[in-house]
Amino acid sequence: MSHTLGNLPQGAEPITIGPDGKPQVPAIPAVGYIEGDGTGPDIWRATKLILEAAVAKAYGDQRRIAWVELLAGEKALEQTGQYLPQKTIEDIAALKVSIKGPLTTPVGGGFRSLNVTLRQVLDLYACIRPVRHIPGAPSPVKRPEAVDMVIYRENTEDVYAGLEWRAGSPEAKRLIDFLASELGAVVDPQAGVGIKPMSARCTKRLVAMAIDYALARGRQSVTLVHKGNIMKFTEGAFRDWGYELAAEKYAGRVVREGQEEPGKLVIKDRIADAMFQQVLLRPDEYDVLAMPNLNGDYLSDALAAQVGGLGMAPGANVGDECAMFEATHGTAPKYAGQDKVNPGSLVLSGAMMLEHMGWVEAADLIPAALGRAVQDGMVTYDLARQISGATELSCSGFAQAVVERL
């Protein structure tokens, strides 16, 4: 996607992608941001404060981020008449790195998810969700400290492809008739219908990114999570293609479960419903998880619940050409403008962004400082009501507490 950026902030330069596929980041990179809807502006202000303080702490005046606002969601509708202007899509692609707050998506009718649209249009094929307990954060499980997993969720296919038709519509009737007449598949004529596409190409590039991450960071295993015992030619194919990719591209560096060798990454697989039990009962046996879109959505939220909830769960959508880091929760419109909600998800996503940029020294400061604030009981309302003796802070107050602990 070719696109020339407009005027950048003074002194800023664009990030580029090097021959190795990694971002080449200048001292003052232009980085895009989308405030988001509902509580988005509140958590963005808190996140910006912490990111800038961490960069200053790590590098002094040698590096800084030049922020470029991108319009999407309700703010974009007000200013442009569109929820997702084409210019925003083009700017995200050109900037290479951006961060966004939550965007509104209605249930049922209305416009399609902006989050899903961005992932598909920009080919951000990997949703990456690291899940690790922050000491002091409340948890419903006995051993939250045993949870240390990174989910790689395929972002562009599966039922999230948006190939579905309303019950009783002419399109649904035509598809149901075709299934019956051409393939002998009987479907209730009044059903809504959808198609679940899954391909070797998209599966293999997702699994390759997961394996690359595991190898680079000394992780012990990558687990393919699927429902292939029932959906044999989609979910089952995901499993088979994942094993094929591991054998083709990583021969000598990976082994299958049951063939363990010192120093080699173990590739294994689990049925999705069984995996929900495994992450509760035996979380320390799993490192990196690779899975199709819907499974990844469910399981990443379930894992987040074990370590403090979505308010503390970071996430990124990454492709070969650009990456977008985001809050993993919704817009919480009833709290909009109240400076109340927990900004932890977007803050930790910002730390992931800094790591992606190669600014590791600044990135590492943030989870540690946030953890110290939680351990000191200096938290927002959602955590304060679960931590005995905690001091309830506003969203901006929590940001300040984190900055003080950098």
335 annotated among ligand-binding-site residues: yes
227 classed as catalytic: yes
Of 227, 250, 339, 382, which is the active-site residue? 227
Structure tokens at 222: 């990558």
19 annotated among ligand-binding-site residues: no
153 annotated among ligand-binding-site residues: yes
Residues 6+ apart with CB under 8 A from 315: 127, 128, 129, 300, 325, 326, 327, 328, 345, 349, 352
Of 33, 125, 160, 250, which is the active-site residue? 160
73 annotated among ligand-binding-site residues: no
Q: Is the dihedral of CA 177, 181, 187, 193 positive or negative?
A: negative
329 annotated among ligand-binding-site residues: yes
161, HSE (Cβ side, Cα atoms, 13 Å): 15
Of 158, 297, 339, 382, which is the active-site residue? 297
Residue 382: alpha-carbon gap to chain centroid: 22
DSSP secondary structure code for residue 160 in this structure: G
Residue 8: alpha-carbon gap to chain centroid: 27
287 classed as catalytic: no
Please, are residues 331 and 40 in contact by the beta-carbon 8 Å criterion? yes
217 annotated among ligand-binding-site residues: no
166 annotated among ligand-binding-site residues: no
Structure tokens at 126: 């990997």
- H helical segments located in 20-84: 40-59, 74-80
297 annotated among ligand-binding-site residues: yes
385 annotated among ligand-binding-site residues: yes
Task: Collect contacts of 164-170 with beta carbons under 8 A, ≥24 apart.
Answer: 164/192, 164/193, 164/194, 164/195, 165/192, 165/193, 165/194, 166/192, 167/191, 167/192
332 annotated among ligand-binding-site residues: yes
Of 177, 273, 284, 320, which is the active-site residue? 273
Please, are residues 62 and 56 in contact by the beta-carbon 8 Å criterion? no
Residue 105: alpha-carbon gap to chain centroid: 17
297 classed as catalytic: yes
47 annotated among ligand-binding-site residues: no
7 annotated among ligand-binding-site residues: no
3 annotated among ligand-binding-site residues: no
119 annotated among ligand-binding-site residues: yes
143 annotated among ligand-binding-site residues: no
Binding residues: 104, 113, 115, 119, 129, 153, 297, 329-335, 342, 381, 385
Binding residues for Mg(2+): 297
Catalytic residues: 160, 227, 273, 297
Binding residues for NADP(+): 104, 329-335, 342, 381, 385
Binding residues for D-threo-isocitrate: 113, 115, 119, 129, 153
